Chains A and B, each alone.
Chain A
Amino acid sequence: MKYLGITLERPKIGVFDFTGCEGCQLQIANKEEDLKDLFDLVEIVNFREISSDRREDYEIAFIDGCITTDSEVARLKKIRKQAGILVAMGACACLGGVNNLRSRFSLSDVIREVYDRHHINTGPVRKVADVVHVDIELPGCPISKPEFEWLVRHLVLGIEPQFPKYPVCVECKQRLNSCVLDMGLMCLGPVTRAGCNAVCPRNRLGCWGCRGPSEEANFESLIEILREKGFTEEHIAERVKFFNAFSGVLNSDR
């Protein structure tokens, strides 16, 4: 691959699944018409969902899912050692994600409820950064393919990617959406990192915060607004805690 006459390195990429639904990996495999161009740009050497190759010479590792078991910790540390750049990909890897809902209950209760008496080795839900150093966080539940491709272009060119620092409201207003908070729905858009093109409010769903907090988000103000609008503490807590994106924001957390 050449860029204005300069030959670009074709980095070797590994995509690895941990605890999660694998939807983010599926996003990479989606949009088939672009796959050939993507593979021209990077060499996929380890990606169970789309290839039988199991090479260990990857330079960039994409981590899908959160970390729950000892074996996952060991595997992740090994990947970190090999990878020059490690990308946490999606809400589970970046935040803990939906899986973190189980952290509200005692682990033994959770195991009993799901697996009954079957022995299972599982620990607390951790985001990737709780275990190893993360170089880049690619947010979203799931990630979006255009944003993934955008990131890959940056990695190939060696440019530091700049994710939006501002909240979802900007994109929501740009799409001329109705503000779902005006329509009586709960929404975390004002404190959640943009980049999703406000896809949920666009479809009259409030934002759940899957992309994590926007930078220097004003939680205090939003929570006061939500209370004034009549949302109950339970409703607010349920939303705020859903993706584990905003820990420490509610007084009840502290």
Chain B
Amino acid sequence: MLFKTITKENFKKMVEGLLEENEVIGPRSRDQDLGGNKIYRFLKINSFEELEMDYTRSYSSPKNYFLPFEEDLATYRLNDKDWEQEIRYTIHPRVIIGMRACDINALLKLDQVMLKSVYPNPYYFARRRNTLIIGLDHEPLEDCFCRSMNTDTVFHGFGLFLTDIGDRYFVAINSDTAYIILNQFDAREVTEEDQERYKTVKKQIESKFKTQVDITILPELMDLEFESEIWKKWGHKCLSCGSCAMVCPTCYCYGIEEDTNLTFTKATKRRFLYSCNLLDFAAVARGHNFRPDAHIRLKYRYYHKFRGFVEAFSQSLCVGCNRCGKACLAGISPKAVIDDLIKTEKK
């Protein structure tokens, strides 16, 4: 990997340059919670000033810029006896600024499913290819457990990755495009002093992790505790509202629906992200529901994250961002559930 540094002034110029020809997405705050904390999300920015580089965590992950909550897979022009199908993969070039290491690692996990499987997803591929990711380091929040999930650092899957070292950013460069862009804005070779500052910041980040989740034997534990009462305990609180899956950077389950316009001259095949916690997730034709109970659905969500995905790809599907825990009104968080499982096992 190549490293350079760029002053914050020049970074601003770079963002302004990118804004000229790309759709630029970045962390922005809107609203405050009861504690007066800003609520951030990844939204389109129109100027550098709208970008909040000091953001803490976005309420929802930037997943939707790769797997939209709703997307048209195909549109059809219907005529008397036949139809013409139109499929578009193209998207406007996009830049996402400020993604965390956990969120980029989440994309790498999604890549396993969307790009490296038997049937790659061309819609996802188009977005992934046409998006320049500029990552950003941060000091972990109270409940970040990405360290436990081995997703607190990232070495590929982005164009640039920034670490704030005072008046400038220390930049890891991971693509030709990103390299070319960066060099247009007076990026400087890394000096010894830059390197020292970078190491200091990194150590500081490392020292601030507070939350740990023990996943050492989690896949086995999941099997051993398949019938555990803890699923009922948490399932009883679960609102089956799907919030966890919507804000999650890696939940990718979906449904498909088809619809026509009012004159039956056009039709659309649409994919929409769904959640395995929703009541009819496992309902099939004629109405049978394989998972009618909330606690079973909750259990299987955790199974997919911490066991099924491990079996298939030798890694967990959770990146430890705790967005699901934050979004859950009922207070269901991976940390709480897994700690409970471990406690049960030790009894």
A156 and chain B: residue at smallest CB distance:
B264
Q: Flag the segment in A51-59, A69-77, A100-108, A163-171 that touches B.
A: A163-171
Give every chain B residue within 8 A of A184 (Cβ-Cβ). 34
B292 and chain A: residue at smallest CB distance:
A216
- B31 close to A204 (CB less than 8 A): yes
Binding site for B on A (CB under 8 A): 1-5, 8, 34, 37-38, 40-41, 149-150, 152-153, 165-167, 169-170, 173-174, 176, 178-179, 181-184, 189-191, 204, 214-218, 221-222, 225
- A182 close to B262 (CB less than 8 A): no
- 17 interchain pairs, CB-CB under 8 A: A2-B80, A5-B80, A150-B259, A165-B280, A166-B275, A169-B239, A170-B241, A174-B69, A174-B70, A178-B30, A183-B32, A216-B240, A216-B279, A217-B239, A222-B239, A222-B329, A225-B329
- A169-B241, A218-B240 in contact; A4/B262 too (CB < 8 A)? no
- B78 close to A3 (CB less than 8 A): yes
Alpha-carbon distance between A150 and B243 when the two chains are bound, in angstroms: 26
* B238 interfacial contact with A, CB 8 Å: yes
- A179 close to B294 (CB less than 8 A): no
Of A1, A176, A204, A216, most B-chain CB atoms within 10 Å = A176
Give every chain B residue within 8 A of A165 (Cβ-Cβ). 278-280
- B262 close to A174 (CB less than 8 A): no
Give every chain B residue within 8 A of A179 (Cβ-Cβ). 59, 243, 327, 329
- A8 close to B241 (CB less than 8 A): no
Give every chain A residue within 8 A of B41 (Cβ-Cβ). 176
Alpha-carbon distance between A183 and B36 when the two chains are bound, in angstroms: 9
- B239 close to A38 (CB less than 8 A): no
Of A150, A167, A173, A176, most B-chain CB atoms within 10 Å = A173
How far in angstroms is the closest Cβ of chain B from A159? 10
* B199 interfacial contact with A, CB 8 Å: no
Alpha-carbon distance between A184 and B240 when the two chains are bound, in angstroms: 22
- B43 close to A167 (CB less than 8 A): no
Alpha-carbon distance between A37 and B266 when the two chains are bound, in angstroms: 13
Contact of A182 among B39, B70, B264, B294 (CB under 8 A): B39
Contact with A along B68-105 (1 / 0, CB 8 A): 01100000001011110000000000000000000000
Task: Give the size of the chain B interface in residues (CB under 8 angstroms).
Answer: 42
- A190 close to B329 (CB less than 8 A): yes
B272 and chain A: residue at smallest CB distance:
A174
- A167 close to B81 (CB less than 8 A): no
Give every chain B residue within 8 A of A153 (Cβ-Cβ). 259-260, 262, 264
Give every chain B residue within 8 A of A166 (Cβ-Cβ). 240-242, 275, 278-280
Contact of A173 among B34, B83, B246 (CB under 8 A): B246
Alpha-carbon distance between A1 and B260 when the two chains are bound, in angstroms: 13
- B242 close to A178 (CB less than 8 A): no
Alpha-carbon distance between A217 and B247 when the two chains are bound, in angstroms: 20
Alpha-carbon distance between A169 and B241 when the two chains are bound, in angstroms: 6
Which 6 residue pairs across A and B have the least CB separation, nearest first? A173-B246, A169-B241, A174-B69, A178-B31, A3-B264, A5-B81
Of A1, A170, A204, A222, most B-chain CB atoms within 10 Å = A170
- A34 close to B262 (CB less than 8 A): yes
Alpha-carbon distance between A183 and B37 when the two chains are bound, in angstroms: 10
* B33 interfacial contact with A, CB 8 Å: yes
* B237 interfacial contact with A, CB 8 Å: yes
Contact with A along B49-72 (1 / 0, CB 8 A): 000000000011000100001100
Alpha-carbon distance between A173 and B34 when the two chains are bound, in angstroms: 19
How far in angstroms is the closest Cβ of chain A from B163? 27
B236 and chain A: residue at smallest CB distance:
A221
How far in angstroms is the closest Cβ of chain B from A124? 32
- B242 close to A169 (CB less than 8 A): yes
Taking A170-B246, A176-B60 as given, write out 17 further A-B residue pairs in contact, using a Cβ cutoff of 8 Å, ordered by the A residue number: A5-B81, A8-B264, A149-B262, A165-B280, A166-B240, A166-B280, A167-B239, A173-B242, A178-B39, A179-B327, A179-B329, A182-B34, A191-B239, A216-B279, A218-B237, A218-B240, A221-B238
- A176 close to B240 (CB less than 8 A): no
How far in angstroms is the closest Cβ of chain B from A225? 5
Alpha-carbon distance between A174 and B278 when the two chains are bound, in angstroms: 14
Give every chain A residue within 8 A of B337 (Cβ-Cβ). none
* B2 interfacial contact with A, CB 8 Å: no
B31 and chain A: residue at smallest CB distance:
A178
Contact of A41 among B34, B80, B262 (CB under 8 A): B262
Give every chain A residue within 8 A of B31 (Cβ-Cβ). 178, 183, 204
- A183 close to B34 (CB less than 8 A): yes
